[in-house]
Chain A
């Protein structure tokens, strides 16, 4: 246990997937998360003494490099799932493998957490140090990375989230969006393959949300880091490459954003919003105006409307 983190660093440079694979072995390193019949119950101590089923029969495959948004209203189980992804919680039954490592095996805990970093909702409650760069260094320090390398990783991570000029600032002087970017930098400095973000924008104002979303997109596009974004803002989910919708602890929808959001009524039933262009298109179709149903953006909506207007005029003439 003692030297585990350091050894792990060397192992990761030359991965030997076949050796450790159980769950996702046949597809090698391309699968990052793989779960089989994942169940989780919260034990409650209230008068009813009923355990709450927070996850029920979750089977997911997430590949390296994906950008997955997990949508769901409060209490749908999305945060519980997130906490399984980096071994903060262990399943009641079923199994979850992270890069082939079973999250239930205590020997895997630290390698999993290093590899799948986690950013939480409240920007104030996840920064440890009184100076920004010291905070970013916290993760690699815990992993036993040599000092000179930590310095380099911290500088790179701050540069990636565009916060280099705040390296010497104190966290309480920063805005919410800036604090979340520091939290992301703190994870980046640990050299993860994947970042799990649990409602990172829920407590931010619109410009803070924009900053964080831009950073997340950049990590996925440029650094090819797998991103799992838990959110209830559909504007954010639209930017993902894949959307998983959860309800009552189960995965109820899984697909590309366009396919998910065009099911407007189903989304509303689940207590979720759809982009306003998609919502408007849906209402118009219900009123018998045959415009494209899977519009996601304003531009697509306008194009669809203009096409329709053109046809309408052509048919009139």
Chain B
């Protein structure tokens, strides 16, 4: 089924796609942090420009970048309006009953909205150009030092991989069970909250039974393939920094320095 797309990976032959997932992950986090340092219009301008550059290099159609925004639209408008109406200031633009819009409010709301948009689009760029498995691998390697603290890093990564592997399978299963119960007169769409919750039982029980059966069979298959946790395990793909990864890291640092400089100036 093509309908089920995990994550939102968009395959394209770009330099951003080829970057080491660790660089992209740490880079995205770094980028988000800089957004909070850059508290001025100039700062946001530089960040937006940098982001636009990355989007251009990624060869992903820009419309995909803004899809993520749709889901966040409510939060975006909510946060922006809070700031719009609740920021105290001297220059009052509109006054209506208890509502008071100030020039500072408008400016503040605009900055907040811009920051959120850049933040969301920025993380979307990462998920669009990195496969879930690359991300999992990146998380596993980045967390490796924590193994010394007896944190089961390998197991966590393995669980994430298996979850990613089975999401589409279970989604298909949900579709199938729903249709089968609808064929027996089940109704998932009407009625009050309690009735709807109750109507989910014929869906959830077979789904759990199937998930447990799958888990059991998968455990057996993993056993048969000599899986025994992180004991003496190797990896086919070893993450290695290529020159472009060093270059990208360098650019990120320069970008960070510029933002801090602008922040100080403003």
Contact = CB atoms under 8 A, between A and B. Distances in A.
A128 interface: yes
Interface string B105-141: 0000000000000000000000000011100000000
Chain B interface: which size bin? 35 or more
B133 A124 contact: no
A120 B221 contact: yes
Contacts, number: 108
Contacts of B172: 172
Interface string A137-170: 1111111111100110010000000000000001
Contacts of A122: 214, 217
A128 B222 contact: yes
A86 interface: yes
B21 to A, nearest CB: 13
B164 interface: yes
B227 interface: yes
Contacts of B169: 124, 172
A118 B224 contact: yes
A131 B224 contact: no
A122 B222 CA distance: 14
B232 interface: yes
B209 interface: no
B226 A150 contact: no
A138 B227 contact: yes
B217 A127 contact: no
Given A88-B224, A129-B133, A130-B165, A141 B236 contact: yes
Contacts of B235: 137, 141, 147, 150
B225 interface: yes
Interface stretch (A2-10, A55-63, A210-218, A257-265): A2-10
A124 B172 CA distance: 12
Interface in B200-242: 213-214, 217-218, 220-228, 231-238
Contact of A128 (B213, B218, B237): B218
B165 A127 contact: yes
A24 interface: no
A146 B226 contact: no
Interface string B148-180: 000000000000011011001100100000000
Given A128-B218, A141-B233, A172-B169, A113 B161 contact: no
A128 B231 contact: no
A139 B236 CA distance: 11
Nearest to A135: B165
Interface in A46-89: 86, 88
A120 B223 CA distance: 12
Nearest to A134: B133
B194 interface: no
A267 to B, nearest CB: 30
Contacts of B224: 86, 88, 113, 117-118, 120
B226 A139 contact: yes
B265 to A, nearest CB: 46
A120 B217 contact: yes
B197 interface: no
A114 B164 CA distance: 27
Contacts of B218: 125-126, 128
A31 interface: no
Nearest 7 CB-CB pairs, A to B? A126-B221, A125-B217, A137-B236, A150-B236, A118-B224, A172-B168, A142-B226
Interface of B: 1-2, 4, 6, 131-133, 161-162, 164-165, 168-169, 172, 213-214, 217-218, 220-228, 231-238
Given A120-B217, A130-B161, 7 more contacts: A120-B224, A125-B214, A125-B217, A130-B133, A138-B225, A170-B168, A172-B172
5 contacts: A125-B217, A127-B165, A142-B227, A142-B233, A172-B168
